[in-house]
Chain A
Amino acid sequence: MGRKSREELPHPPLHAILLVATLITIYPILWVLTIALSGKQSLAIADLPAEPAVSDRLRSVIPWPETVSLANFRSLFADQPFARWIVNGAIVASATTFLGIVLAATAGYAFSRFRFPGRRAGLMSFLVSQMFPGVLTLIPLYIILVKWLGLGSTRTGLVLVYTTTAIPFCVWMLKGYFDTIPRDLEEAALIDGAGPLTIFRRIVLPLAKPAIAVTALFSFMTGWNEFILAATLMDKESMYTAPVGLRFFVGGFSQQWGYFAAGAIIVSIPIVALFFFLQRYLVSGLTAGSVKG
């Protein structure tokens, strides 16, 4: 019973649709590449003459630079404090990932394995906290972090905020996954005399690797991509993270599209790579987590 019995749609029209969709999808990315490699700060691909012909217009639409130059990338690091911003962002995102996983894994495990008063309330409060509008907590957070704790313009402050942003999702995600791990193994270890911490570290955590990978990706993305909180809490230009820095290039009256494009590529590469590396887990994790609620 092969392909023949199944009445297949003809392939060429399907390819046509997919081609169009793919073109639309990758066009903005090619556009950024072109601007980045143009060596100029303009957001136009090509300079148009006063009375442009159709061929001129076509040239200004096709994402291929007139001259290929790495000048934008070079001066991003030589003339702009971009390296510092990247380092800031990397430190903040990594610390967020680590802290987020440690806190979420322990809490998620307790929510999954133990029955105790306040369990349901705790889980629901995490869920409801996802609906708190960021603007509402932004002003109090500023007061707490900057005025009370003195953590304004520090990476520590940003890490703490990002971690608590990521915790609810990560806890639910990990709790859902822990629920699917059979308890037999843990019970066997318990009989062998292992304590709860040993069981958690030696048995549960290794089994939960896929879910932890998703949690890590999510926490890292939270830290790497966030920009409103970073823009509010980081006053000093030297403490900007990458998103705040990139917006700095093209926000307001600044029109340095070349720097923006080059920076956008550098910032996107690690996150896109991570994404594809963990994508398989991300889908299974998201659906598992969301189906379970």
Chain B
Amino acid sequence: MKRTPSPRLRFGIGLALALALGIGLDVFLLMGARRADARVRAEREAIVTLNALTGAVERAGISGDEVRRAVAAWAKSHPSLAAVRVVVFEGISLEASTEPKDSGDRAAPRRLTREEKDLYDRGQRLRAAVETNRQEGAARKEEIEVSEIDRGALGLAGPLEKDGEVVGLVEIRTSGPPPPLRVPVSTSILFLVAPLAIYAAAAQLVGERRGPLAVTASLLLAAALFLFARQTLRILEADRVATERAVAERVVQEARVGASTLPAGAAPLVPSKWDTDVFRKPRPGAPGTPPGGAERRGRNVFFGVAIGAFALLAFFGFGLAARLGSTLARHRVAYLYIVPAMLAMIVLVFFPFLYGVAISFTQQTIYNTGQPLSHLWVGVQNYSHILADFSIAKRAPDGSLAFNYLNFYWTLAFTILWTVSNVAIGVTVGLLLALILNTAGLALRPIYRVLLILPWAMPNYITALIWKGMFHRQFGVVNQVIQIFGGQPVSWFDKPFTSFLTALATNGWLSFPFMMVISLGALQSIPNEIYEAARVEGASRWQQFRAITLPSLKPSLIPAIIISVVWTFNMFNIIFLVTQGEPGGSTEILITQAYKFAFERYRYGYAAAYSVIIFLILLAYGTVQNRATRATEGI
């Protein structure tokens, strides 16, 4: 058994790891943010160019040699532009192109070829977007399409307009990616090594006292992380300023080029309208004002990272890591055996469960799945809507009760009725048949037994679909039998009660064999001598049953009942496939109702809350049952 390392060493290791985590994450996030900023800058510059070029092409008359001359001049003066293409809808023509492949006999102007159909389609998409936005008076569809062609090079397409009508498009392709960003290696190493050196020196003075060591390490960590974060924010701010300057420079440059290509007598270009977003609306915020939201988000991120780093420091410093390590090492064989199963369970069961619980506090629907959960947070609103809604029934004008089948309490009551009646039927029928089959000397016993078990063996979704077919209003055999006896055919799925009966019949059919087999097994294990002794005492049949049979059945029957309550409560397939909740959702059980909220009404948040409530009900049942039977004792 290894001894726990000394406090000095522990806090040293803790500090080193916390610094590595904190600084490492900060650098990682910084590089991510800078890369995103660089991308935004490239996009903004390209949009300025596109808008300016579009203006120039429009003023050159949309089509003709003027346009080609302007485009050529533009391409020559822009090393950052790899290619420009101008397409006009009328005549489906490629008016101008500086693409290398569009030379020789493919040079513009010419008709677009079949392979270039997507170019034409893109133009029509832009036209549709412009028209939609104009009709709605909103910026909903993108009027400039931006796509990343390969590593950093951007392709942009914007609409060409004439008299307020989209008549074509201008497409540009930027050359090459922006220069790669430098990772601040030396700064990071400095921030990593300096605190450790100071700690080492301080630790010599402090000695092996835990308190002062903890304070020293914490102060050093806090100082290092704070200074590094400030440095990082400064870099980001510098990036932002540089972006604004670069965009402003680009506008000036384009204005100069544009003026030189402008034909005589054309209206002047409007450079102030070139720095737009993809909806061709001016960017929000006048240049120069810092975007507060981004800054705040940045601070929050650094705060989160710092909390993680401090947790790590404490974890190591106070010896928890050492203790955990020695526990893991001592029981490593056991943990090795469990890790594969546990890992699978964590990734595909426990994590999805927690994620689902998180969704239950949001108003997520199919339409906003792209947004982060924090934007859709509504607290316990879903829960209160489900649990505080008591409008189960209201009185119709003619005095009859009209039930609200979507109400939680209706579904809960129905689920309980469903569970209790099914389990009662299963136990009664199963026990009765078991008692008969247990009669000594009964002929054909094995054959009866095999045939009676069949429903258990059948896949239950098939059973459900079969019974659904047999209860068909017009062709189902159940109605044929009723008509043989002179009755009227029943529309089984039109009334809640008859609909319930169909599901009950189906589930009863498939669930009694389980109870029968369990009971039969228990009955066969009762020694015959006990009955004989009872008969000698003069006990009647009923007395024997009460005093011998039932008590002997209890140990196997009670667990079977407990498990079948849970099965029936969650018997998704039967309700989902047989009654389908008809009529009007009256015969839904909780689990199918939750499914419908999620996948037919697409209210993910609400459905998740519904499911969490189901889980809590089952958990409560499980706990009570566990208390009552003490089943998990001594595991």
Contacts and interface: CB of A to CB of B under 8 A. Distances in A.
Contacts of B462: 32, 246, 264, 267-268
B352 interface: yes
Contacts of A15: 442-444
Contacts of B355: 140, 143
Given A58-B484, A139-B608, A272-B454, A21 B433 contact: yes
B483 interface: yes
Among A54, A114, A137, A292, the most chain B Cβ lie within 10 Å of the Cβ of A137
B6 interface: no
Contacts of A44: 475
A147 to B, nearest CB: 9
Contacts of A137: 349, 352-353, 356
Contacts of B532: 1, 5-6
B172 interface: no
B194 interface: no
A267 B459 contact: yes
Contact of A133 (B351, B465, B563, B615): B615
B509 to A, nearest CB: 7
B465 A247 contact: yes
B530 interface: no
Contact of B455 (A25, A126, A128, A246): A25
A225 B461 contact: yes
A9 interface: yes
B452 A21 contact: yes
B34 interface: no
B614 A133 contact: yes
A189 interface: no
Among B468, B476, B611, B635, the most chain A Cβ lie within 10 Å of the Cβ of B635
A253 interface: no
A106 B455 contact: no
A167 B348 CA distance: 11
A133 B271 CA distance: 59
B469 A22 contact: no
A224 interface: yes
Interface residues of A, number: 103
A260 B465 contact: yes
Contacts of A111: 338
Q: A-side binding surface: helix, strand, loop or mixed?
A: helix
A196 B333 contact: yes
Interface string A157-188: 00011011001100100000000000000000
A122 B342 contact: yes
B560 interface: yes
A106 B458 contact: no
A164 B349 contact: yes
Nearest to B344: A164
A60 B521 contact: no
B570 interface: yes
Given A32-B466, A293-B632, A133 B451 contact: no
Interface residues of B, number: 106
Contact of A167 (B334, B341, B440, B572): B341
A150 interface: no
Among B338, B458, B566, B576, the most chain A Cβ lie within 10 Å of the Cβ of B338
Interface in A232-280: 232, 243, 246-247, 250, 257, 260, 264, 267-268, 271-272, 275-276, 279
B345 A131 contact: no
Interface in B429-445: 429, 432-433, 436-437, 439-444
Among B463, B475, B531, the most chain A Cβ lie within 10 Å of the Cβ of B475
B522 to A, nearest CB: 8
B463 A3 contact: no
Interface in A21-38: 21-22, 24-26, 28-29, 31-32, 35
Contacts of A227: 461, 573
A6 B531 contact: yes
Q: Shortest 4 CB-CB distances between A and B: which pairs?
A: A293-B631, A136-B611, A110-B337, A114-B334
25 contacts: A3-B441, A22-B451, A25-B452, A31-B470, A61-B477, A103-B341, A107-B340, A117-B327, A126-B345, A127-B632, A129-B349, A131-B622, A135-B595, A135-B598, A135-B607, A135-B611, A139-B598, A164-B345, A227-B461, A247-B465, A264-B462, A267-B462, A287-B560, A292-B631, A293-B631
Interface of B: 327, 331, 333-335, 337-338, 340-342, 344-345, 347-353, 355-357, 359-360, 429, 432-433, 436-437, 439-444, 448, 450-463, 465-470, 472, 475-477, 480-481, 483-484, 509, 517-518, 521, 531-532, 535, 541, 555-556, 559-560, 562-563, 566, 570, 572-573, 576-577, 591, 594-595, 598-599, 604, 607-608, 610-612, 614-615, 618-619, 622, 626, 629, 631-633, 635
Given A31-B470, A128-B622, A250-B469, 16 more contacts: A5-B532, A11-B439, A17-B432, A25-B451, A43-B476, A109-B337, A128-B619, A131-B615, A131-B622, A135-B594, A135-B595, A136-B360, A139-B356, A246-B462, A290-B560, A293-B635
